[in-house]
Structure 1
């Protein structure tokens, strides 16, 4: 992707935690590059009041309010991945001003003739993060000694797998370790500038795309691979399976949201037993490469402060692994678990 340092996040009329998770993550992990949030309907002046993150980043009603904007990022991830029709004028306005437009939705900008014409006339770029040309199957690449791969899996979609990996990368880096975050979804790619949008890769090539991602970055001591979907999700288990074999992890980090019992997007489906899910993930991963679980990242956003410690103790007793909420309690225990895994592998 092109490097952008004056980004306007478009969430117009959709500025909720459920829909605007892309914008929220970009504010958190690329805050210095975010010039503004565009929401004509917002009744507040800054991102902190709109999203509880982003500090004094202004909320504006038009891209014209940011004279030096270099990109408009689509900041939402709605069900079905389609662009709100009322955003067309906002996107065209940005393109006509020569501002790049970056989208992670399934509906590609490049397929819209009016957008293409506007971009060609102004010199702006249309960047569809999910658009890809991965057309290679996996080769069962033999992992390089010393290159430790840790992969996040979860009990459902949108439980914090990306966040856990990003925070673990920060923690390992602070400990002086060479750790690289590898994105497998649109928001992670927007944050890091690279990765594989596995949910938009042809099924036969998901394993190969994940494999190539780790091969390309095998010079790092730690590779922290973002997870997608859930091995038990009736709609999205395929990407989970492809990643488990494609990246050949040495360790798994299990992620779950405390209090969530029903499958996201399928409210009639209950989430299966979490311990069973982790066992299935480990069995599946070990068919490809020796792998063990190293820790649990618990999303406690629905819990009060008094409930967090109780939940973490329950997770540790249930899974027999160190547990934390990467925001509320930090990642120190997961950093130590990662270092322990590396010492174990290197000594073999």
Structure 2
């Protein structure tokens, strides 16, 4: 794998990040890509883990890349493309994870995301398998990821929060979505229960030309 260059590449990129591991980053990326494909938009799902590679048939297992080359691997995963093409990049780990923050940072730098979606499971109190590490506040997580991502893309923005509400009933899910949306001012959705249609609508509004058709 090459060393990262930090050079700006053509095309649009969305990266899923998380408050923790196993918070829905892969499924959220797949759901956004599936919605774009349903509309005939030009987009690619970029797998960064073994399961994502099994699903898509290609990608880079970023946790198997030597750390000095991980950002470079992320660059090669989403190369120059049509200016309105979207790469939907599967995130890994969390900046707040005591073991896996490094791979998250490499993806933030190498992907040069224009947009990030923060993935979160409501009700989770601590980092999975690390009870002494409390889960970060959602806004602190957004700020940390944006700060890190601005090294290679100063214009990055958070476009939404994807929730894993599988442990909640419909009433609880709707209440959590409304509350978090009011508190953050962001689009909040569950990619399983509510789908990614509103998120793709938002991307098309923010970045005119994102409805560029698939060729």
Structure 1 position 204 matched with structure 2 position 64: no
Structure 1 position 263 matched with structure 2 position 134: no
SS in 2 for 1:242: helix
Q: Is the 8 A contact 1:183 1:192 kept in 2?
A: yes
Structure showing greater radius of gyration is 1
Q: Is the 8 A contact 1:159 1:299 kept in 2?
A: yes
Distance (Å, rounded) in 1 between the aligned partners of 2:81 and 2:74? 12
Structure 1 position 332 matched with structure 2 position 197: yes
Q: Is the 8 A contact 1:323 1:333 kept in 2?
A: no
Which residue of 2 is the match for residue 143 of structure 1? 9
**Alpha-carbon deviation of 1:345?**
8.6
Distance (Å, rounded) in 2 between the aligned partners of 1:339 and 1:213? 23
Runs of 4+ in 1 over 6 A off after TM superposition: none
Distance (Å, rounded) in 1 between the aligned partners of 2:182 and 2:209? 23
Q: Is the 8 A contact 1:252 1:293 kept in 2?
A: yes
Q: Is the 8 A contact 2:85 2:210 kept in 1?
A: no
Mark the runs of 5 or more structure 2 residues left unpaired by the alignment: none
SS in 2 for 1:212: helix
What TM-score, normalized by structure 1, do the two folds share?
0.58
Change (3 A) 1:299 1:225: same
Describe how 1:214-233 pairs up with structure 2 within 5 A: 214-215=78-79, 218-219=81-82, 221-233=85-97
Cα RMSD over matched residues?
1.6
Distance (Å, rounded) in 1 between the aligned partners of 2:107 and 2:87? 13
**Alpha-carbon deviation of 1:295?**
1.0
Which residue of 2 is the match for residue 308 of structure 1? 173
SS in 1 for 2:102: helix
Which residue of 1 is the match for residue 207 of structure 2? 342
**Alpha-carbon deviation of 1:342?**
2.2
Describe how 1:72-111 pairs up with structure 2 within 5 A: none
Mark the runs of 5 or more structure 1 residues left unpaired by the alignment: 1-133
Q: Is the 8 A contact 2:14 2:115 kept in 1?
A: yes
**Alpha-carbon deviation of 1:224?**
0.2
Q: What count of residue pairs does the alignment treat as equivalent?
A: 209
Q: Is the 8 A contact 1:275 1:318 kept in 2?
A: no
SS in 2 for 1:343: coil
Describe how 1:1-348 pairs up with structure 2 within 5 A: 134=1, 136-144=2-10, 147-215=11-79, 218-219=81-82, 221-289=85-153, 290-343=155-208
What TM-score, normalized by structure 2, do the two folds share?
0.93
Q: RCO (CA 8 Å, sep 6+): is it higher in 1 or 2? A: 2
SS in 2 for 1:281: helix
**Alpha-carbon deviation of 1:319?**
2.0
